Amino acid sequence: MISEIKDLIKSTVNPVSGKPESEENRVKDIFESEGDIVIKYDREGLSPSQKRVFEDNILSSVKDKVPADKISFSSISKDSGDVYKSLKSSDDDGPKKETSKPVENATLNVGHGKPAPKKEVPNVKKVIAVASGKGGVGKSTVSVNLALSLKKLNKKVGLLDADIYGPSLPILLGKRDEKPKANDQKKIIPLEAHGLRFMSFGLFIKEGEPVIWRGPMLGGVLNQFLFDVDWGELDYLIIDLPPGTGDVQLSMIQSVSVDGSIIVSTPQDVALLDAIKGFNMFTQVKTPVLGMVENMSSFICSECGASHDIFGNGGVKTEVEKLETNLLGQVPLDIKLRKGSDEGKPYMAFNFDEGDEVSKSYMAIAKNVDKILFESKKDKKGFFGKFFGK
Ligand SMILES: Nc1ncnc2c1ncn2[C@@H]1O[C@H](COP(=O)(O)OP(=O)(O)OP(=O)(O)O)[C@@H](O)[C@H]1O
Ligand SMILES: [Mg+2]
């Protein structure tokens, strides 16, 4: 089989030089791994779009022998090494869990998109996706602090960083140097931070290394994070999405049943316009929207005590009324929230104080989410009637 593939790709043309593979010898290795064929090649001098053409050429040369979804590519270059190589073990043995013992380093299978049917994540009661139309409005900050607030309500919570292009949870949770392990069933063991389980693509790549993938490959990794991570028993799995309405959102919606999404927005018009697109995307694909969170909603000056509406006022409240959804809460702009995130010491784990505005707002969001999700089961015509067919 391997030698037949080798013969077939000899005529594959390098899009830069126009020369066939038989002259270029870019392909360094072809091997089988867990039923897939892995083709390892030298990507030196190829731009991302040329890599894509090169890989597509290979796929079409071998298509009569092997279907595209059975082929994975691993590209190597002189300076950065192999992006998809197995992970080096860290000095730390990682979090200890009673149920699954680490036996080997976890690896990611980056394939050419294996469409999977929509599934439930085993042992996870509710899956929540945190989304926004626009970048930088606070999705990751909301995901982490909402997770910690749900934990304060005695819930078991996991966090999945689905922002493949700009993963930030390892930094926000203070675990940027840790590497995940796999157990004896080859399941990835989530890391633990501040009482939360979490998994992030950022734990598998070097910081600062760009991720240049197309849609179907993202789907493969997302599936692995949802179904090949040993999440254990959870009340909530919170998925921190990248901004916008792109490939990752679509892959997620196609592969997992999401119980509810939360749209984060700042009160300003530009962010709101994009937030509405996010809202409409979820409703179009029949994924319930739990409501919106207005982040950076006001700034209370510690010097003069006055409240300043830096990004405007009331924008999200007006919008949720128009969209007939819920305002889950309004989180003030607070420098301690930003500092806590940068230092890996999230606010609700390190600065929680029942009386302060940030803590109150997050606890209110957690209670609203919990109430909506569990009440909706009892009363499908209540808050959620709109999405469950009244
Ligand atoms: N309420 C807040 N008060 C102060 N700073 C905040 C607040 N919310 C978020 N931030 C800060 O704003 C910045 C962007 O937040 P965050 O990374 O959570 O946004 P994001 O929507 O996840 O961004 P991206 O789209 O890049 O994933 C961070 O520096 C964060 O610490
Ligand atoms: Mg983010």
Sheet holding 71-77, edge to edge: 27-33, 36-42, 71-77, 81-82
Range 148-157 average pLDDT: 97
Ligand lying closest to the C-alpha of residue 134? 1
Query: How do strand 307-308 and strand 289-300 relate by DSSP bridges?
Result: antiparallel
pLDDT for the residue numbered 99:
52
Give the list of residues 6+ apart from residue 67 with CB closer than 8 angstroms, or none: none
Are the C-beta atoms of 196 and 174 separated by less than 8 Å?
no
pLDDT for the residue numbered 255:
83
- Is residue 281 scored above 80 in pLDDT? yes
Express the helix, strand and coil content of the chain in percent, nearest 5 each. 35, 25, 40
Mutate-to-test residue for ligand 1 from 130, 132, 140, highest number of ligand atoms within 8 A of CB: 140
pLDDT for the residue numbered 385:
41
pLDDT for the residue numbered 237:
97
Beta bridge partners of 80: none
Using the atom order of ligand 1, give the atom closest to the CA of residue 242: 27
- Of the two residues 380 and 335, the one the predictor is more confident about is 335
Place of tokens 């020369």: 19
Query: Which domains, ranges and CATH numbers included, belong to the chain?
Result: 2-82 (3.30.300.130), 124-388 (3.40.50.300)
Global pTM exceeds 0.85: no
Give the list of residues 6+ apart from residue 230 with CB closer than 8 angstroms, or none: 97, 99, 100, 183, 185, 187, 188, 189, 190
pLDDT for the residue numbered 376:
58
- Of the two residues 234 and 1, the one the predictor is more confident about is 234
Range 263-270 average pLDDT: 86
Dist. CA 156 → ligand 1 center (Å): 24
pLDDT for the residue numbered 227:
92
Q: Please work out whether the CB of residue 168 comes within 6 Å of at least one atom of ligand 1.
A: yes
Range 304-313 average pLDDT: 78
**pLDDT tens per residue, range 47-102:** 776 787 788 888 888 888 888 878 888 888 764 444 333 222 233 333 334 456 77
User: In whole numbers, what is the pLDDT of the chain averaged over residues?
Assistant: 83
Q: Where are the beta strands (DSSP E) in 13-168?
A: 27-33, 36-42, 71-77, 81-82, 102-105, 124-131, 157-161
pLDDT for the residue numbered 367:
97
Q: Please work out whether the CB of residue 132 comes within 6 Å of at least one atom of ligand 1.
A: yes
Would you call 359 helix, strand, or coil by DSSP? helix
**pLDDT tens per residue, range 27-59:** 988 988 877 888 888 888 777 767 877 888 888
Where residue 375 falls among pLDDT bands split at 50, 70, 90?
Answer: confident
Distance CA 340, CA 293 (A): 20
**pLDDT tens per residue, range 203-254:** 988 777 766 666 666 777 888 899 999 999 999 999 999 888 877 888 888 8
- Is residue 111 scored above 70 in pLDDT? no
pLDDT for the residue numbered 86:
29
Distance CA 256, CA 156 (A): 19
Using the atom order of ligand 1, give the atom closest to the CA of residue 332: 1
Range 264-278 average pLDDT: 85
- Is residue 165 scored above 90 in pLDDT? no
Range 320-336 average pLDDT: 92
CA distances from 174 to 191, 193, 203, 260, 271 (A): 11, 8, 12, 27, 28
Dist. CA 30 → ligand 2 center (Å): 36
Q: Please work out whether the CB of residue 334 comes within 6 Å of at least one atom of ligand 1.
A: yes
- The alpha-helical segments, DSSP class H, found in the chain are 2-8, 21-24, 48-62, 139-152, 169-172, 215-227, 247-255, 269-284, 315-323, 335-342, 347-350, 357-378, 385-388
Where residue 306 falls among pLDDT bands split at 50, 70, 90?
Answer: confident
Distance CA 231, CA 157 (A): 9
Token duo for residue 255: 């592969």
**pLDDT tens per residue, range 7-30:** 988 888 877 788 888 888 889 889
- Of the two residues 312 and 290, the one the predictor is more confident about is 290
Q: Please work out whether the CB of residue 230 comes within 6 Å of at least one atom of ligand 1.
A: no
Distance CA 311, CA 225 (A): 35
> In this prediction, what percent of the chain has a pLDDT beyond 70?
85
Sign of CA dihedral 183, 187, 193, 196: negative
Q: Please work out whether the CB of residue 48 comes within 6 Å of at least one atom of ligand 1.
A: no
Which burial class, exposed, middle or buried, applies to 34 when counting CB atoms under 10 A from its CB (0-12, 13-18, 19+)?
A: exposed
Specify the range with the lowest mean pLDDT, choosing from 106-120, 160-174, 196-210, 284-298: 106-120
Distance CA 177, CA 175 (A): 6
| Torsion angle defined by CA atoms of residues 152, 125, 262 and 194, in that order, rounded to the nearest 10 degrees | 30
